[in-house]
Amino acid sequence: MMQSLETEEPYVGNLYQRFPVNIVKGKGCKVWDTKGKEYLDCMGGYGVALVGHCNDRVVKAITEQVQNLITCHMSVYNEVRLSFLKKFNNITPKTLHKSFFTNSGTESVEAALKFSRKFTGKNGILALNGGYHGKTFGSLSVTYNEKYRKSFLPLLQDVKFISYSEVESIFEIITKPENNIGTVIIEPIQGETGIIMPPPDFLKSVRDICTSNGRILIFDEIQSGLGRTGKMWAGQHWNVEPDIMCLAKGIAGGVPMGLTVMRAEVLDCLKVGEHSSTFAGNPLACAAGTAVIEAITEDGLVLNSEKMGKIFKKGLLELKEKYKIIRDVRGLGMMLGVEMRFDVKDILLDGIQNGILLLYSGRNILRLLPPLVMNEEEVNESLRLIEFLIQNEEKRRFG
Ligand SMILES: *Cc1c(COP(=O)(O)O)cnc(C)c1O
C-alpha cells in the first residue's frame, strides 16, 4: 500500500494534505483499499460521492454514453445535454432557469462573478469572513482564508469581507457609492470553514437589500446543494432564492461538471464569445448528471438526507454530552461538523486504521459529508466508530 503512495509523490508536488490510504473500489457508502480492507466513507469523496460511490444509475448512464459520444462542443446541439437541462430545470429554484456549464466549482464561481459584473456594471463584491469559493484568481479573491491568498496577491480589487455580526451595516456597505458593490457572494452554510450556519435572519436581510437595490446575490451551493442539507437547496432552509447559484462537486456522480444557474436576464446580457469552456456540457458529464438527478428525485435522497442527518446529528450530540473533548456539533442533513477542543489529525489517522474515512475543516473540526444514500445501519456504525475514535483520543490526551 505505502509503495504506490510513495511513488506518486515525485510527480504531483506537495499541494494536498494526504492520508495513508490507497483506495481502489467504491460502492454506496463504502470504499475498499488495495488489500481489500473496507472503510465507511464519511468523507464522501469531499462531497462528490453525493449519490454514493458507483451509483448504479450513474454507472449505467456512463457505460451507455461512452459508447456513443464523449465529446460534443456547445457550438453544436446534443440531445443528451438537452435532456439533462430539462431534468435539471425541474429541480432549480423557481426563478433560476438558465445555466452555464462548467467543469468544476471554481469555474462555476468565475462564471458567476463575470456574469454579475457585466449585468450590474459594478466591480465591487461583498463576501463573507470564512467563505470558501475556490482557488483560481477570481474565486480566490472572494475566499477568505489568508493561508490560501497570501502568496498570490494582488487579487481582484474592490472585494470587501464582512462577518455575520455586521448584518446591521450591510445596507450601508452595499449602497455606499464608493464601494460600487454589484455582487454579494455567500455559501448558505459554510463548508470548508467548519459547517458554519448563518444567523437566522441573515440571508433574508441580504436578499431584501440586494432586491431593493438591484444587486446580484450569488449562492455558492457547490457543497450544500442537491439535497446535501436535507432540502434540495440549502437556501430553502431560510426561504431565500439567489439570482445566481453555483454548483459542482456531486452533480455528475464524480464526472467533472459544474453549473452556474441564474435568472434568464442575467445570462441573456452576455454576448457570443464573452465566456466559454471547451468541455462545457459534454455528453458524458450530462448523461452522468441526468442519472444523478434521477437518483436524487426518484430514490428519495433529499428526504433520506434529512432523516439520516437527524439520526446522525442526534448521535453526535449524545457523544458531545459524554466526551469533553467535543466542543460543538452542528449542521443540517448530511453536512455535519464536530468541533473538537484539539487538532483532529490523530483522529483522522486512527479512523483509517479502524475503517472509517473522515474529513477535517481547519485543524480542529471533523467534517462529515457522507453519501445521501446512507442507511440507518451505516449511520449507527459510523457513530459507533466515531465514538471509539474519540475514546482513543481521550486516552491519548489524558491517559
Ligand atoms: C469545493 C468548493 C468549491 C471549489 O470547487 P472546486 O471544484 O474544488 O474548484 C467552491 N465553493 C465551495 C462551497 C466548495 O465546497
Single out the residue of 61, 34, 59, 30 nearest to residue 44, CA to CA.
30
What is the DSSP annotation of 18-76?
Answer: --S--EEEEEBTEEEETT--EEEESSGGGGT-TT-BT-HHHHHHHHHHTTT-S---TTS
- For atom 6 of ligand 1, which residue has the closest CA? 105
Choose one of 46, 103, 106 to mutate for the ligand 1 pocket test, by most ligand atoms within 8 angstroms of C-beta: 106
Angle between helices 56-65 and 283-298 (to 10 degrees): 160
Please compute the mean of the pLDDT values over residues 182-198 and round it to a whole number: 97
Cα of 231 vs its chain's centroid, Å: 14
- pLDDT band for position 5 (cuts 50, 70, 90): low
pLDDT in tens, 222-265: 999 999 999 999 999 999 999 999 999 999 999 999 999 999 99
| Residues whose beta carbon lies within 6 Å of some atom of ligand 1 | 104-106, 132-134, 187, 191-192, 220, 222-223, 248-249
The SS3 of residue 195 is coil
Interstrand relation of 124-128 and 181-186 (parallel, antiparallel or unpaired):
parallel
The total of other beta-carbon atoms located within 10 Å of residue 11's CB is 6
Please compute the mean of the pLDDT values over residues 64-93 and round it to a whole number: 98
> Which of 5-9, 44-48, 152-156, 318-322 is predicted with the least confidence, judged by mean pLDDT?
5-9
- Going by C-beta distance under 8 Å and a sequence separation of 6 or more, which residues neighbour residue 97? 89, 263, 264
Please compute the mean of the pLDDT values over residues 368-392 and round it to a whole number: 98
Please compute the mean of the pLDDT values over residues 316-338 and round it to a whole number: 98
CA distance 145 to 376: 36
pTM: 0.97
Q: Is 53:44 a contact under the CB 8 Å cutoff?
A: no
Domains and CATH numbers, the chain: 56-298 (3.40.640.10), 300-398 (3.90.1150.10)
Helix extents (H) in 163-201: 170-175
Ligand 1 centroid vs 306 CA: distance in angstroms? 22
Confidence at residue 4, expressed as pLDDT on a 0 to 100 scale: 57
Ligand 1 centroid vs 47 CA: distance in angstroms? 10
Q: Is 160:173 a contact under the CB 8 Å cutoff?
A: yes
Confidence at residue 18, expressed as pLDDT on a 0 to 100 scale: 87
Ligand 1 centroid vs 222 CA: distance in angstroms? 6
CA distance 217 to 221: 12
Please compute the mean of the pLDDT values over residues 57-75 and round it to a whole number: 98
pLDDT in tens, 178-187: 999 999 999 9
Q: Has residue 2 got a pLDDT over 60? A: no
**Which amino acid, residue 270?**
L
CA distance 205 to 295: 34
Please compute the mean of the pLDDT values over residues 48-62 and round it to a whole number: 98
- pLDDT band for position 331 (cuts 50, 70, 90): very high
Confidence at residue 167, expressed as pLDDT on a 0 to 100 scale: 86
* Mean pLDDT, the chain, whole residue set: 96
- Going by C-beta distance under 8 Å and a sequence separation of 6 or more, which residues neighbour residue 241? 93, 94, 95, 96, 207, 235
The SS3 of residue 257 is coil
Atom of ligand 1 nearest to the CA of 256: 7
Confidence at residue 399, expressed as pLDDT on a 0 to 100 scale: 83
Q: Has residue 31 got a pLDDT over 90? A: yes
Choose one of 110, 133, 255 to mutate for the ligand 1 pocket test, by most ligand atoms within 8 angstroms of C-beta: 133
Secondary element (H or E) of residue 101 = strand 98-102
User: Residue for cell digits 470587501?
Assistant: 160
- pLDDT band for position 1 (cuts 50, 70, 90): very low
Q: Has residue 301 got a pLDDT over 50? A: yes
Confidence at residue 362, expressed as pLDDT on a 0 to 100 scale: 86
Grid cell for residue 391: 475514546
Confidence at residue 224, expressed as pLDDT on a 0 to 100 scale: 98
Confidence at residue 260, expressed as pLDDT on a 0 to 100 scale: 98
Single out the residue of 107, 366, 335, 357 nearest to residue 227, CA to CA.
335
The total of other beta-carbon atoms located within 10 Å of residue 188's CB is 26
- pLDDT band for position 6 (cuts 50, 70, 90): low
Burial of 379 (0-12, 13-18, 19+ CB in 10 A): buried
